[in-house]
Amino acid sequence: MKVGVLGGGQLARMLAIAGKPLGIQLICYESIENPCANSVANIIKGDFNDENALATFAETVDCITLETENIPLTCAEFVAKQRALLPNEFTLKITQDRLYEKECLQSLQIPTAKFHAINTWDDLETALNTFNYPAILKTRKSGYDGKGQAVIHDKQGAVNAWEQLKSHELILESFVNFASEVSLICVRAKNGEVKFYPLVENEHREGILRLSKAPFIHPILQKKAENYANTLVTHFNYIGVMAIEFFVMGNELIANEIAPRVHNSGHFTIEGARTSQFENHLRAICGLPLGSTETIGFSAMYNLIGEEPVREKILSIPNTYYHSYGKAARPGRKLGHITINALSEDALNDSVANYLKIIK
Amino acid sequence: MKVGVLGGGQLARMLAIAGKPLGIQLICYESIENPCANSVANIIKGDFNDENALATFAETVDCITLETENIPLTCAEFVAKQRALLPNEFTLKITQDRLYEKECLQSLQIPTAKFHAINTWDDLETALNTFNYPAILKTRKSGYDGKGQAVIHDKQGAVNAWEQLKSHELILESFVNFASEVSLICVRAKNGEVKFYPLVENEHREGILRLSKAPFIHPILQKKAENYANTLVTHFNYIGVMAIEFFVMGNELIANEIAPRVHNSGHFTIEGARTSQFENHLRAICGLPLGSTETIGFSAMYNLIGEEPVREKILSIPNTYYHSYGKAARPGRKLGHITINALSEDALNDSVANYLKIIK
């Protein structure tokens, strides 16, 4: 079985590693030289608008998936004519645009922050009259890891944000004063079966995910999240792994973002669950039965951002696993991650304290 | 870090997969075209007697390990002059020759079957006078998966066995009427730390391992096995994973074979232990701290021999994992393995029964 992946970054890399034992070979389509999946997958280099290269890619594979939603929709629509695109191009159209995504969530009665489409300065001025400060102005497309957004605290902030972002299609969102951020990773098989991992609690800094802890045990929120996720995957006729990020407000969840792919907050599943999100994504899109999403103990996943720590020290912490993505160091770049696992929350906290002492 | 591996079969393949997250790249030296590690590791093709190709290989890597003991000792000695060979060439010299191995075990007071070196028909005739039938005539070198051996039940059998094997250096071993076969996988780090996985119970058929079940819980035998293993790794100044196969006779262990490498009976550790034997071997030879060898639940590992079953059916069994080696099917060939894991022995037995129903 040959699976094509639009993108060749670390998510493709981890998918490719998960595919090896299953006899599933990955072929990544990438516009950049030497993407980090290149030591585990075949790479076809091409621009995402190059229909000749895309056609060659599509012909090479049995089905196509993606590791980023930031690809031109035309590219997805083009390859989907040749091979099954899983998840489908409709899902991509909605989830790559914050406005469509919010409208979709709203139409499905899934709570979101208040939002407004912004095309002109007048739109922004008018919308701000009905929003409380702070509010967040975001590009509708291509934002990730906190890029393409500005927090507006006052009128002058609105002017600055507009100047910064006005060349894009925009959305204004109200600021949610959340207690915590969680995400739900789920996977839907071709036969319609859906499995859910337990909620993960996430900490961001400077817009980038730093830490995920799982399981976040809260039966009421788990149930709500699963219901919302089920509604979404049914609506999209979704196949594969999907992640939904939520803000927690007491016993309520406010949906923030949908990722139509394996997700950074699901990396803990490699060691911390009976089947990793990567294997389950491949099982789903290849028509294989899903694996168990039960967790093993308690996990904390730290992203390695900008630099990689000394592996010798990190690996001396019990049940700690190192994942290098084979990338050159660069400030703000995700270079790898570390998963710390333990059979009790206390033991996990001890190991985490140990880890934080080592890396500081 | 670049690790060279002498051999490019499924053990090298699984080592290479385990190396990816650690940022360890494998370069395999192989004499055959397209060995099964080739989709996850770089391959340098060359004969094991080709010193030019071996020198190029050694220069390319930081250290060298092996996935088979069936390589010429001269090859190991040659590369060891250029790069650290882990485990070392002394270990290889002993473990690739059944006579040296038995003599070594005997000298270290580790029980073995009765044995005798056989160079002539007279040696065999004389030895058989002091052995009970059945006895086993084996080639001293290059035997694996039951190849290069003949069971002798009577005088005529001795004649036949001699005719079949006389072109080799031979050893006669008494037949051990064992209750079961077990193996111990251990790993020794550069700092001398040794970790042991729990004993594994093995079932062979036609000389090939079919099934491994772990953990084989028997504190007395576990303690004995660990003591023997500790004696051996200290004696060899061993670095990396080593496996020892034992026959069980009541509360006694009879050492049968030492494998100076990751071992088929340790494949269950990929899902059934906190750190796989493959990751621990790489951690050891790269000077990294060892990972935990604790098991996760109960595991049964079945080799896929000669043909691969339908993956869809196999993967519908809860907590069952498929490992294809990407090899062409051929009678008697190990094409992959399946690990079934469960949190209780009863649940494991249920899943195993389910598996056996599917594959029959």
DSSP structure string for B34-64: S-GGGGTSEEEE--TT-HHHHHHHHHH-SEE
Contact of B291 with chain A, judged by CB distance below 8 Å, is answered with yes
pLDDT of B85: 98
What residues in A contact B13, CB-CB < 8 Å? 20
Q: Name, in order, each residue with C-beta under 8 angstroms of B347's C-beta and a sequence gap of 6 or more.
A: B298
Closest CA to B258 of B236, B274, B287, B286: B236
Q: Which among B22, B315, B316 has the least Cβ separation from residue A322?
A: B22
Closest CA to A184 of A266, A97, A91, A105: A266
CA distance linking residue A239 with residue A190, whole number of Å: 6
CB A213 within 8 A of CB A299: yes
In tens, the pLDDT along A47-104 reads: 999 999 999 999 999 999 999 999 999 999 999 999 999 999 999 999 999 999 999 9
CB A305 within 8 A of CB B278: no
Contact of B207 with chain A, judged by CB distance below 8 Å, is answered with no
| B147 vs A275: which has the higher pLDDT | A275
| Chain B: closest CA distance from residue A23 (Å) | 5
Q: Cβ–Cβ of A17/B22 closer than 8 Å? A: no
Closest CA to B91 of B307, B226, B235, B254: B235
Q: Cβ–Cβ of A311/B23 closer than 8 Å? A: yes
What residues in B contact A315, CB-CB < 8 Å? 283, 288-289, 291
Contact of B289 with chain A, judged by CB distance below 8 Å, is answered with yes
In tens, the pLDDT along A186-211 reads: 999 999 999 999 999 999 988 889 99
What residues in A contact B322, CB-CB < 8 Å? 21-23
CB B16 within 8 A of CB B43: no
Q: Cβ–Cβ of A23/B312 closer than 8 Å? A: no
Sign of the Cα torsion A325, A330, A333, A334 reads positive
Q: Among A39, A281, A307, which would you mutate to test the B interface (most chain B Cβ atoms within 10 Å of its Cβ)? A: A39
Q: Cβ–Cβ of B288/A312 closer than 8 Å? A: yes
**Could you tell me the two tokens for B121?**
């028909």
Q: Which CATH superfamily is domain A180-359 in?
A: ATP-grasp fold, B domain (3.30.470.20)
pLDDT of B144: 66
CB B86 within 8 A of CB B239: yes
Contact of A298 with chain B, judged by CB distance below 8 Å, is answered with no
Closest CA to B84 of B1, B10, B23, B12: B1
pLDDT of A145: 66
Q: Cβ–Cβ of A21/B326 closer than 8 Å? A: no
DSSP structure string for A22-80: HTPEEEEEESSSS-GGGGTSEEEE--TT-HHHHHHHHHH-SEEEES-S-S-HHHHHHHH
Can you state the percent helix, strand and coil of chain B, rounding each to 5? Answer: 35, 30, 35
CA distance linking residue B258 with residue B47, whole number of Å: 25
What residues in A contact B274, CB-CB < 8 Å? 319, 341
Contact of B316 with chain A, judged by CB distance below 8 Å, is answered with yes
In the chain, the amino acid numbered B159 is V
pLDDT of A37: 96
Q: Which among B22, B274, B319 has the least Cβ separation from residue A324?
A: B22
All CATH 3.30.470.20 domain ranges of chain B, comma separated, are 180-359
| Chain B: closest CA distance from residue A249 (Å) | 35
pLDDT of A314: 94
Q: Which CATH superfamily is domain B114-174 in?
A: ATP-grasp fold, A domain (3.30.1490.20)
Contact of B21 with chain A, judged by CB distance below 8 Å, is answered with yes
Contact of A318 with chain B, judged by CB distance below 8 Å, is answered with yes
Q: Which among B23, B288, B315 has the least Cβ separation from residue A288?
A: B315
Angle between helices A155-165 and A121-130 (to 10 degrees): 140
Three-state SS string over B220-241 comes to: HHHHHHHHHHHHHHHHHCCCEE
pLDDT of B205: 86
pLDDT above 90 covers what percent of chain A?
94
pLDDT of A142: 80
pLDDT of B53: 97
pLDDT of A146: 67
What residues in A contact B20, CB-CB < 8 Å? 13, 17, 39-40
In tens, the pLDDT along A237-270 reads: 999 999 999 999 999 999 999 999 999 999 999 9
Using CA atoms of B54, B59, B60, B61 in order, give the dihedral in degrees to the nearest 10.
Answer: 100
What residues in B contact A270, CB-CB < 8 Å? 21
Q: Cβ–Cβ of A21/B319 closer than 8 Å? A: no
Q: Cβ–Cβ of A311/B288 closer than 8 Å? A: yes
Closest CA to A215 of A237, A191, A184, A243: A184
| Chain A: closest CA distance from residue B360 (Å) | 20
How do A170-174 and A135-139 pair as beta strands? antiparallel
Q: Name, in order, each residue with C-beta under 8 angstroms of A247's C-beta and a sequence gap of 6 or more.
A: A113, A176, A178, A180, A181, A253, A254, A256
pLDDT of B145: 66
Q: Among A271, A275, A280, A315, which would you mutate to test the B interface (most chain B Cβ atoms within 10 Å of its Cβ)? A: A315
In tens, the pLDDT along A290-343 reads: 999 999 999 999 999 999 999 999 999 999 999 999 999 999 999 999 999 999
Contact of B319 with chain A, judged by CB distance below 8 Å, is answered with yes
Taking the model in full, what pTM does it have? 0.95
CA distance linking residue B205 with residue B203, whole number of Å: 7
CA distance linking residue A311 with residue B23, whole number of Å: 10
Closest CA to A125 of A83, A154, A94: A154
Q: What CATH architecture does domain A2-85 belong to?
A: 3-Layer(aba) Sandwich (3.40)
| Chain B: closest CA distance from residue A296 (Å) | 9
All CATH 3.30.1490.20 domain ranges of chain A, comma separated, are 114-174
Contact of A274 with chain B, judged by CB distance below 8 Å, is answered with yes
Instruction: Compute the average pLDDT of residues A161-174.
Output: 94
From residue B230, how far is each of A336, B84, B113, B276, B306 by CA, in Å?
35, 22, 20, 20, 36
Q: What is the pLDDT along chain B (360 residues), one digit of tens a residue?
A: 999 999 999 999 999 999 999 999 999 999 999 999 999 999 999 999 999 999 999 999 999 999 999 899 999 999 999 999 999 999 999 999 999 999 999 999 999 999 999 999 999 999 999 998 999 999 999 766 667 899 999 999 999 999 999 999 999 999 998 989 999 999 999 999 999 999 999 999 888 899 999 999 999 999 999 999 999 999 999 999 999 999 999 999 999 999 999 999 999 999 999 999 999 999 999 999 999 999 999 999 999 999 999 999 999 999 999 999 999 999 999 999 999 999 999 999 999 999 999 988
Instruction: Compute the average pLDDT of residues A137-156.
Output: 86
Helix extents (H) in chain A: 10-22, 51-60, 73-80, 89-95, 98-107, 121-130, 155-165, 219-236, 269-272, 277-285, 311-314, 345-359
Residue A285 has pLDDT above 70, yes or no: yes
In the chain, the amino acid numbered B46 is G
Contact of B39 with chain A, judged by CB distance below 8 Å, is answered with yes
Closest CA to A321 of A301, A339, A300, A343: A339
CB B64 within 8 A of CB B3: yes
Contact of B292 with chain A, judged by CB distance below 8 Å, is answered with yes
